[in-house]
Amino acid sequence: MKTSKSILLLTFFLVTFFSCNDEPVDFTLKDNSASENNDIKWWILVHPSYGNPGIYLYNETNSTIENILPLPDSNGSPHALDFDGSSLWLGGASSINTTNGILTHNPIYELNPDNGEVISTIDNIRTEGISVSNNHIYYSTYGQIIEITKTGTFVSSTSVENTTINDIAICNSIKYYVYNGSIDPIIKVNEASGQDEFILETDIPNLYTLSIRDNNFVVVSNNHFRRFDINTGEHLSDIKIEINGWITAIAPYNK
């Protein structure tokens, strides 16, 4: 009898709690597929130099590949990638000589994340890093971080101390970049002082990627995710990526 009363009281409490929070009451059991919403996923750019090139939708939680999109230019050198929640933005560092001898660069592509089809292009931009923030695109080129609209209209330019920027990330309107130097540091751009601020020495070779997620810097080296606390610089984890090939950019799928 006491047990029945306890169950009734617990049921009443749950119904009351969820009703106060304007949530529908559903006592059905959930299957494990619901956990997919909490899985950590990434868009991963694999260069066509070797391996299997493309843009991978990679589930880090399960170490599985969920989709592979083709690259729009098989002869290019893709190094830059970001995702704004609806479109992928892909850039590269390749150039071509036209018939009249003028050097031109491949475009920044806006891609459909479902099938990789080209939605739009911003022509003649050389970059190794892209970050999309507040509906603007930031890209790196020759010692500068350029801000443009999604239609290619110039907004602003910020000069940095290192001419080769391998990737960039924007967090709370603060610009960060990484370059493949001897100690592979992550740099914060201080636009007020005009001087770069050394943020983090990773001591990891061959850095080409930089992303920020859950208050962590995330880089890729030797096909491992390497995480560092954005505030303390503590090296948090190394997690293997089950993809063959040269990874030149990563972008969070679900931020």
What is the 3-state secondary structure of the chain? CHHHHHHHHHHHHHHHHHHHCCCCCCCCCCCHHHHHHHCCEEEEEEEEEEECCEEEEEECCCCEEEEEECCCCCCCCEEEEEECCCCEEEEECCEEECCCCCEEECCEEEECCCCCCEEEEECCCCCCCEEEECCEEEEEECCEEEEEECCCCEEEEEECCCCCCCEEEEECCEEEEECCCCCCEEEEEECCCCEEEEEEECCCCCCCCCEEECCEEEEEECCEEEEEECCCCCEEEEEECCCCEEEEEEEECCC
Q: Looking at residue 5, what is its pLDDT?
A: 41
In DSSP terms, 229 is beta-bridged to 216
pLDDT along the chain (255 residues), means of 10: 42 38 39 63 94 94 97 85 97 73 84 97 93 95 94 95 89 90 85 85 84 95 94 94 95 87
Q: Looking at residue 26, what is its pLDDT?
A: 40
Q: Looking at residue 99, what is its pLDDT?
A: 61
Label residue 168 left, alpha or beta by phi (over 0 means left) and psi (-120 to 50 means alpha): beta
Q: Looking at residue 23, what is its pLDDT?
A: 39
Residues in the chain: 255
Q: Looking at residue 194, what is its pLDDT?
A: 77
Q: Tokens 């003028």 appear where?
A: 102
Residues with Cβ < 8 Å from 183, sequence gap 6 or more?
A: 201, 202, 203
Q: Whole-prediction pTM value?
A: 0.82
Return the exposure string of 57-67: e unless at least 16 CB atoms fall within 10 Å of the residue's CB, then b. bbbbeeeebee
Ordered by where they begin, the domains of the chain are 37-252 (2.120.10.30)
**Nearest partner of 170 among 252, 105, 226, 247, judged by Cα:** 252
Residue 188 CB neighbours (<10 A): 14
Q: In angstroms, rounded to a whole number, what is the distance separating the alpha carbons of residues 164 and 167?
A: 9
Tokens matching residue 45: 């750019």
Q: Give, in degrees to the nearest 5, the angle at Cα 105 between 101 and 110.
A: 150
